[in-house]
Amino acid sequence: MNLTNNLSSYSITQFIQDLLKVRFAGNRLKQEVLESGDKLNFACPYCGDSAHDSKKKRGNYWPARDRYRCYNDGCGASVTTEKFIAKWALKYGLDVPAREASSPVISVAAPDRKRRGSLIELLISGNASKYLLSMDRVASRFSLIPVDQVDQSSRVAQFIRSRNLNLIPAFNQSCWCDANDDKIYIFNLDLRSGKILGFAIRRVDEWSGPKYLIKNYSELVKTGLVKSMPEDLVIDVDSLNNYFNIMNIQFNQPIVVTEGQFDSMFITNAIATTGVSKSKLLLDNLLTRSNTRILFDSDHAGKSQSLELLDQGYFVFLWNLLFYDLSKKYKIARAKLSKIKDPNDLFNFIISKEPAITLDQFNAMLAPYYSNSQFDILWI
């Protein structure tokens, strides 16, 4: 098949339909192409979309914007029409639609504003802020209590002290508790405006269900707490809510990427991805290799992802090297250090040895343990 062999009667809609028939052979639901306003909506051919629900369709193509984008966490494919067609036409031997016939057979009005082409544009957009909720409003709606005012004999207070979270300014600024004494609300807060991108609910009793529940604007719109927010803005804000503390980052300084929200609070200029699988979209859109430091957990998933990112040229944290040095400094067996799984655990260990250590000193201690050298693979 020749990429230059355009067929004048063959449209991009037909191309997408043919692509889905090949990509999702035997799955009729994933072969569906839906018309939604100014776009086509269908299962993403890049990531395969949901493995559990064939009805989910996170792939979107805007003919007027000449753009395809997937809103599946961990995928985030975003390409021009030309690149979309080239990739899949070559892979499956499909005919190439003519550019002049590439619009779907639906009424499409040209947008009256430029579509935000990336997440970074949303961050600097003043128009987005007017739709965002304030932390105080949400806290009032759910009758929440500031974490520094909680009853010190409560389960929540005991949990906070056990993690040394009460020593962390970022925790006291962005977290609230509920009256049931079993949850902590972690707001993805913009410190300058007091507005939020969303929030997470962290259960204190880990055996009572999932530890974390993420609340996005798409859910807040359904409940009526948010009104008149443009659909595409809801999608973008939901994407940004995957990255805790993103609104407070200094992009001209080294940025550390952690997994958990609590972990990021112990680290200077840090973003939490709420899981290693969500790091791809963040790294592709907002961060650079030279300015990024990866501090994922010391478990198998975190180290595996760190190895992949090291291979791509990122600076990653050398957990094994740190454990080696700590075992010598504190005369402790390295096997005992294996219980340290994340930055919060690490801070708890260090402060048990050096009670007077400050957050700045803790961060200075971590700084030498990042590397982008392939020779340091064994130290990850």
The tokens for 18 are 């043919």
Token representation of residue 302 = 């975190």
Six-digit token pair at 212?
A: 């974390």
Which pLDDT band holds residue 74 (cuts at 50, 70, 90)? confident
How far apart, in Å, are the Cα atoms of 28 and each of 7, 46, 91, 378? 26, 18, 21, 46
- Structural domain spans, the chain: 6-114, 116-241, 249-380
Instruction: Look up tokens 């963040």; give the residue.
Output: 282
Q: What is the pLDDT of residues 261-303, one digit of tens each?
A: 999 999 999 999 876 666 776 777 678 888 899 999 999 989 9
User: Could you give the strand order of the β-sheet that contains 255-258, starting from the edge strand earlier in sequence?
Assistant: 270-272, 255-258, 292-294, 315-317, 370-371
Q: How confident is the model at residue 124 (pLDDT cuts 50, 70, 90)?
A: low
Amino acid code (one letter) for 379 = W
What does the DSSP assignment read for 164-177? TGGG-HHHHHHEEE
Q: Give CA–CA dist 142/225, Å, rounded.
A: 11
Residues 302 and 259: beta-carbon distance below 8 Å: yes
Least confident of 20-29, 46-55, 216-225: 46-55
Q: pLDDT at residue 327 above 50?
A: yes
Nearest alpha carbon to residue 310 among 223, 253, 243, 375:
375
Copy the structure tokens of residue 278: 């969500």
pLDDT band for position 373 (cuts 50, 70, 90):
very high
Over residues 130-139, the mean pLDDT reads 91
Q: What is the pLDDT of residue 242?
A: 86
Residue carrying structure tokens 């939490």: 272
Asked whether residue 1 carries a pLDDT value surpassing 70, the answer given is: no
Phi/psi at 257 (5° precision): -110, 120
Of 122-131, 134-143, 180-189, 316-325, least confident by mean pLDDT is 122-131
Phi/psi region, residue 52 (left: phi>0; alpha: psi -120 to 50; beta: rest), is alpha
What would the DSSP string read from start to end of 118-136?
Answer: SHHHHHT-HHHHTTSPBHH
Query: What is the rounded average pLDDT of the residues 318-339?
Result: 94
Strands 59-62 and 292-294: unpaired
What type of residue is 284? D
CA distances from 235 to 24, 64, 71, 193 (A): 25, 18, 8, 21
Strands of the chain (E only): list them. 6-7, 33-36, 39-42, 59-62, 67-70, 78-80, 96-97, 145-146, 175-177, 183-189, 196-203, 212-215, 255-258, 270-272, 292-294, 315-317, 370-371
Q: pLDDT-based confidence at 94, cuts 50/70/90?
A: confident
Q: Is the pLDDT of residue 108 over 80?
A: no
Does pLDDT of 4 surpass 50? no
Using CA atoms, how far apart are residues 80 and 37, in angstroms rounded to an integer?
Answer: 19
Place of tokens 């269908």: 42
Fold of 6-114: DNA Primase; Chain A (3.90.580)
CA distance 297 to 358: 22
